[in-house]
A = this chain, B = another copy of it.
Amino acid sequence: MTSNQPYFDLAILGGECLTLDKSFAEYRDSLILTGNGRIEYIGDRKDFIGPYYAGKTIHAQGKIIMPAFFNAHTHLSLSLYRGLGTDLHLQDWLTKVIWPLEKQFCNPENVYLGSCLSVLEMIKSGTATLADMNFFSGHAAKAIEESGLRGFIGEALFSTSTPSIRDPLDGFNVSAALLEKYKGHPTIHPYLVLHAPFTCSADLYREAGLLGKKWGVKVCSHVSETRNEFEQIRSRYGKTPVAWLEETGVLDSDFIAIHMVHASDEDIEILAERNVGIIHNPHSNMLLGSGISPVNKMIDKGIRVGLGTDSASSNNSLSMLTELQTAARLHKVEALDPSVLAARHALQMATSINADIYGLAGITGSLAEGYSADLLIINPDSPNMVPVYDHYSQIVYSMENRNIESLIVNGKVVMEDRKILTLDEEMILREVEKWTKSVSVYDFIRI
């Protein structure tokens, strides 16, 4: 290394780079150089002038490079209950399975353990950024931080007691404490999380809206997940969940509505006018029989619709790849039109649109100089992806998670050649095994 050789932390040499920026720029034989977690150079290899020195070099010839996935809604700790209560309705699944289990087992240790398990799965399926809704969410944050991923963390607030907050009035204090703790943190971003219109009061939404503005954080909530919720709110308040939320003043571009399966045309008008971000969770909505979200209609109205997996207990997978693959297929068949939700759009939903909804446009979700180095290295030389004519099509309709070789988050190599470098995968799996053997979850389920 000589003084006139610039230094970079990481060099990714060769490979076809799909930036997923607005113009879908691509580099056929690319070079990516990072420093302090950011992309300092991205472009064709031949266009980089002069020598450089890199702390680490990854050779990516024959590989595909693209932005890492952003999972815009999940409940990390629930992976401990994966596969329990299968084929049940949401209301039964909640009241007979999940809530009794949470009553019994939801504590800081288990939230941490379940979160560790979930981030392992997310890393192996190429997720760099996630948005979590949890109890004891500081313990989920710990797992995210250790994993090297980027995470939105929020304490799930109800208008009643929760496993973590006995007095509902304490909810915003817990949120404030998280905010204080992670102020200025490069990868852990607190936000305000309200459970749902059927469990939270109008006052709670009103105050969350005001506090969100004051603190400069996003506010999210499950909204209109099931027909049952939709009807319940209508009979309770004489309004749809969206119209009722509109009255609290919480709906604006900083509000994120999770699910939005049931929505009237007027609801969609309100969401568009207020520029609310929607997070669609197709697998969860399908598995629980909740319904097909009017995604095509919302997109037509200019609403930003992103994508999440929901929990490993309602999905039961945390793979953003299979989620976006299903989204693309589902909304084509719903519209009886294969041209809707095209491959490129599906990829944007799982990357740049989510980033925009969460206020991270310009930071993550696509690849450009100055952006965080959050990216995947994909090996397409596999029977399920060959031949590769159209990269976008191949990723959306043919790729499997096993083709994702490496994950880089904030410039740090989190997984290389499918080996996780930040967490001890084997130890976490053994801890989960030990936990499931030490308790009999079946004794607490009411089915």
> Which A residues are closer than 8 A to B by beta carbons?
80-84, 86-90, 93, 117-118, 120-121, 124-125, 227, 283, 285-292, 312, 315-319, 322, 325-326, 328-330, 332-333, 335-340, 342-343, 381-390, 392-394, 396-398, 400-402, 425, 428-429, 432-433, 435-436, 441-442
Contact = CB atoms under 8 A, between A and B. Distances in A.
A318 B436 contact: no
A336 B227 contact: yes
Most B Cβ at <10 Å: residue of A89, A283, A328, A389: A389
A275 B87 CA distance: 28
The 8 A-B residue pairs whose C-beta atoms are closest, nearest first, are: A286-B329, A120-B383, A289-B338, A86-B393, A83-B393, A402-B402, A121-B383, A286-B333
A435 B386 CA distance: 11
Nearest to A342: B87
B333 A87 contact: no
Given A383-B121, A429-B383, A287 B336 contact: no
Contacts of A86: 342-343, 390, 392-393, 396-397
A283 B387 CA distance: 20
Given A227-B336, A383-B124, A384-B124, A82 B389 contact: yes
Given A322-B322, A339-B87, A384-B124, A333 B292 contact: yes
A413 to B, nearest CB: 18
A315 B117 CA distance: 31
B88 A285 contact: no
Contacts of A318: 384
A103 to B, nearest CB: 18
Contacts of A436: 387, 389
